[in-house]
A and B are shown apart, each in its own frame.
Chain A
């Protein structure tokens, strides 16, 4: 029985130690609620050929990871909410330098108003930062995602950082039965990191100045590498299953979507609630299903399109808001809508608000009744 934070840190320690035959493990960390216990746990471990630097800010935490990673070490950090936003500049640098850093974000509302509870607005504000993003549904997924994140980040076809998102408190502080792994299994799953552009002794510049046309080439390469992540993830899933005897979730997880008239799309733990509502309402004869997006970047177009086959109504639940637009997930899902489809957005659960079954039922009722897509609807505000 461990919390999401301890699951994440345990996985990071195992992954760090697995690179002892390579250039080791080095991490920069800084505390922030609700990710503090992850960094604390990491700081208190004995990691062979590893070191955790307790820095003076999140911005520096990621800078340490950048320096360590560019020197060929495996690197990991964790943060949340305003900490992630403060770190943002170096978050983007880690991606644009194509460094395989792994970070666990304990999703938290970005203040003010100050609020330590969960919200996807922090990591989604860095949607375009060039990181792969995985959203977890339970503690086991957090543990597994950290290991699989290193695997895809360090794959030479991908070579970029991965953000593993877990909802603050809901996962980070909740203990659940979690299967962890042996060091020998992790050693087998994570071969030593070999960074092709490692800074060693050859005179050259990493992160150089470049012309307009060259920066386009860099972005195109990065974009194409991101699109490789689907295949690399699938391979990693299979290998993970062989090594650990369980399979991490697909980029899109469907639940009772066959013959559905309406599906509810969500990320993170909200899907658990939605699945329960689906069971209840199916018992009452409603043909509804649930779709959970676990990999948000690269965005799983094909898997979602497949999940939406034969569906005429989609309700998208966002635990985030792009002000002046609507839910971020909704914006992405909407791009897949066929003409005539209703793709309605429901914003709920910001700043840790409970998204309860009755809220989901309210969304289902509205989505089944409406003739056209309307503006985003806030559900449960001020309750």
Chain B
């Protein structure tokens, strides 16, 4: 397909890629690119759907230079690239774009190492709460109650609190990004691409294939997760200053609708009430950390 040059440059993940319809990660890429404009980036993709989306040799679905790293090594591979860019005084931003497996699980050690060293890297986790490209197995990001192909009745353990772990490294900037709150998302993308040192963004990224949801409901699912308090939208500066950016209404109806729009919670023995209790507990911690800092 011959597309005008300007069209090519306007996409980081170009049209015609292999992602499923309604993929949260595809939407995240468009929002990210529109936010950062012409800022030159290099992408490091560990094993995940974003790596598969690149397509086969010699083609690339990405409008930027990409290195496919090993699953566990996105942050350390990016370290080498960012250090050499610094040594050569180049104004290129190195961005890791990883799934929850490459962030919460197998990528945790190298992520923690790069954060502790405050490498000049933006690490973005698009969190679809499962191992997506292997067909949907549980990860430590899978929430309690959600089923996966290797845990049919749903996970018992709660989702790992990655933001507290990341914040504990005291990095300059960390934030969660809601695809249903584009103004807040754009501000965070713009801030994090410019900021020096290690930055971390967590994006809740619905996976219609794994969550068994309607592809047209992706943004709606994020909206419901934010409103119900399931996905707190916040940011952490220097590991200590926590700010809540979107105040949820903690609606039980929104929570029930969030669960009913997906079939992954169907076989679960965990009831929305129990999920509500988990949300209350989480928000007690968030409020304590944020003190009186609220962005609303």
Binding site for B on A (CB under 8 A): 23-24, 26, 28, 49-51, 53-57, 59-61, 63-73, 75, 89-90, 93, 199-211, 214
Q: Which residues of B (73-87) have their CB < 8 Å from a CB of A?
A: 73, 75-87
Residues of A with C-beta under 8 A to B56:
208-211, 214
In chain A, what residue has the closest Cβ to B85?
A71
> Do A90 and B70 have beta carbons less than 8 Å apart?
yes
CA distance A313 to B72 in the complex (A): 48
Given A67-B76, A71-B80, does the pair A210, B57 have CB atoms closer than 8 Å? yes
> Do A64 and B52 have beta carbons less than 8 Å apart?
no
> Do A23 and B81 have beta carbons less than 8 Å apart?
no
CA distance A199 to B82 in the complex (A): 12
Residues of B with C-beta under 8 A to A57:
109-110, 113
> Do B77 and A64 have beta carbons less than 8 Å apart?
yes
Give the contact-size bracket for chain B.
35 or more
CA distance A72 to B157 in the complex (A): 45
Min CB distance, A12 to chain B, in Å? Answer: 16
B60 contacts partner chain A, Cβ-Cβ < 8 Å: yes
Q: Residue B68 contacts which of A51, A61, A205 (CB distance < 8 angstroms)?
A: A205
CA distance A93 to B84 in the complex (A): 19
Residues of B with C-beta under 8 A to A71:
80-81, 84-85
> Do B113 and A73 have beta carbons less than 8 Å apart?
no
> Do A203 and B65 have beta carbons less than 8 Å apart?
yes
B67 contacts partner chain A, Cβ-Cβ < 8 Å: yes
CA distance A23 to B83 in the complex (A): 11
CA distance A209 to B56 in the complex (A): 5
B42 contacts partner chain A, Cβ-Cβ < 8 Å: yes
CA distance A231 to B78 in the complex (A): 35
> Do A49 and B87 have beta carbons less than 8 Å apart?
yes
Residues of A with C-beta under 8 A to B55:
205, 208-209
> Do A70 and B67 have beta carbons less than 8 Å apart?
yes
In chain A, what residue has the closest Cβ to B79?
A64
In chain A, what residue has the closest Cβ to B87?
A24
Q: Residue A72 contacts which of B62, B84, B109 (CB distance < 8 angstroms)?
A: B84
The prevalent SS among residues of A at the interface is mixed
CA distance A259 to B55 in the complex (A): 60
Binding site for A on B (CB under 8 A): 40, 42, 44, 51-52, 54-58, 60, 62-70, 72-73, 75-88, 92, 109-110, 112-113, 116-117
> Do A208 and B60 have beta carbons less than 8 Å apart?
yes
Min CB distance, A157 to chain B, in Å? Answer: 22
CA distance A202 to B161 in the complex (A): 37
Given A50-B87, A65-B80, does the pair A207, B73 have CB atoms closer than 8 Å? no
Residues of A with C-beta under 8 A to B60:
203-205, 208
CA distance A200 to B92 in the complex (A): 9
Residues of B with C-beta under 8 A to A205:
54-55, 57, 60, 62, 66-68
Given A23-B87, A208-B57, does the pair A64, B80 have CB atoms closer than 8 Å? yes
> Do A67 and B63 have beta carbons less than 8 Å apart?
no
Given A26-B87, A208-B57, does the pair A63, B80 have CB atoms closer than 8 Å? yes
> Do A66 and B69 have beta carbons less than 8 Å apart?
yes
In chain A, what residue has the closest Cβ to B56?
A209
Q: Residue B65 contacts which of A60, A66, A199, A209 (CB distance < 8 angstroms)?
A: A199
> Do B42 and A66 have beta carbons less than 8 Å apart?
no
> Do B84 and A208 have beta carbons less than 8 Å apart?
no
Ordered nearest first, which 10 A-B pairs have the shortest CB separation? A67-B80, A56-B113, A60-B76, A68-B80, A63-B73, A63-B76, A71-B84, A208-B57, A207-B68, A64-B80
